[in-house]
Amino acid sequence: AASDTRPPSPRSPVTRPVTARVPAKVNVQLAVGGRRPDGFHDLANVFLAVGLHDEVTATPAESLRVTVEGTDAPHVPTDHTNLAARAAIALAARHGIAPDVHLHITKDIPVAGGMAGGSADAAGALVACDALWGTKTSRTELLALCADLGSDVPFSLVGGAALGRGRGELLTPLETGGTFHWVFAVADGGLSTPAVYRECDRLREETGAGATVDDVPDPEPSEALLTALHTGDPAALAAAVTNDLQPAALSLRPALAETLRAGADGGALASLVSGSGPTCAFLAKDAEAAQDVATALAASGTCRTVRTASGPAPGATVTTP
Ligand code: ATP
């Protein structure tokens, strides 16, 4: 028959579920420039992916549907505002197909914790749907879709360690010289990222220095920090970590100061708020020291949950054969 001689379809959709695994991130440097006229802030954002993961499973369905499991599941929307759903819709639109997929999210990344959980799910949905639909989207196109979905989504796709400029979406991968051991203190309740940026602007205005791009120096990556990542030296990295959003997160959630102190007392080399918070991140000398910091934090009663994880970790990866 004529159909037997046609070239194979460029698309070879699979019908069995496809699962992608995506890491959380910690910002080892978050330098925040002045508020731009469009309301965003230019950043020098050094990301490190860490081994705390969400999984996104894509299965063919009659229509787009999202389900979520995990402790924080009640706080995650299951309508089309879920970033994973938005990612599937954007990928389908790019290829002129219907986003008929069931996305099941197994959530282990704290929600609204400053660890880019929603961004991870978006990146996971993109690679899982791309494999499910056989759309073979190029890496460049996937990165462009990611940047449209959110400032942190491109990093969730690439993982490892990277410098983000612009809003954080213009990425330069960074080589790292070793594994860094972290402890994360998860707080009760989240902090809204836009609210933390607004508080950062408010605090800058309050000091009289101003909060616009004309008032605040352009954010620049720290050479000492990039060198510490490159050599894999935790003590040097600890001396160089900074987060310009930390004063704002502490202003909105003063109790975080006690969490930071508890980790430092437990032997952490560095204690800082992760991104926009309220998760606090603690860098330890090695895996054993990380356990000690975790034990001290758990005993302190200053946080909801304590997790250990090391980085760098790979970006969004399809795990089903
Ligand atoms: P970032 O570190 O990138 O600022 P975050 O880790 O602080 O982000 P998220 O966990 O991404 O915050 O969630 C922020 C808000 O986004 C949540 O309160 C939730 O309402 C909404 N949201 C939409 N989709 C998701 C998703 N797939 N997972 C978690 N939250 C989502």
Determine the distance from the C-alpha atom of residue 103 to the mean position of all C-alpha atoms in its chain, rounded to a whole number: 19
User: What is the share, in percent, of the chain residues with pLDDT greater than 90?
Assistant: 90
Q: Is 152 a catalytic residue?
A: yes
**CATH level 3 topology of 18-174:** Ribosomal Protein S5; domain 2 (3.30.230)
pLDDT digits (tens, 9 = 90+) for 108-151: 999 988 999 999 999 999 999 999 999 999 999 999 999 999 99
Q: Do 87 and 98 touch, CB atoms closer than 8 A?
A: no
Q: Whose CA is nearest to atom 14 of ligand 1?
A: 112
Mean pLDDT value of segment 280-294: 98
Confidence check: pLDDT of 8 > 80 = no
What pLDDT does 32 receive?
Answer: 97
Given a cut of 80, whether residue 5 has pLDDT beyond it is no
Q: Which pTM does this prediction carry?
A: 0.93
Start and end residues for every CATH 3.30.230.10 domain found in the chain: 18-174
For 37-51, the pLDDT digits (tens) are 999 999 999 999 999
108 Cβ below 6 A of ligand 1:
no
Mean pLDDT of 205-219: 93
Q: Which of 54, 152, 201, 244 is catalytic?
A: 152
- What are the residues facing 60 on neighbouring strands? 101
- What confidence tier does 12 reach under pLDDT thresholds 50, 70, 90? low
Question: Rounded mean pLDDT of 287-312?
Answer: 97
Give the CA distances from residue 68 to residues 82, 106, 239, in Å, rounded to whole numbers and listed in that order.
10, 6, 38
Ligand 1 nearest atom to the CA of residue 119, by list position? 11
Give the pLDDT score at 298.
97
Res. 2 pLDDT band, cuts 50 70 90: very low
CATH 3.30.70.890 location in the chain = 180-311
Q: Taking the CA atoms of the chain, what radius of gyration do you get in angstroms?
A: 20
Q: Which of these ranges, 5-9, 54-58, 179-183, 280-284, has the smallest mean pLDDT? A: 5-9
CATH of domain 180-311: 3.30.70.890
Span 300-311, pLDDT tens digits: 999 999 999 999
Task: Judge if the beta carbon of residue 168 lies within 6 A of ligand 1.
Answer: no
What average pLDDT does the segment 206-233 reach? Answer: 95
Q: What is the mean pLDDT of the chain?
A: 94
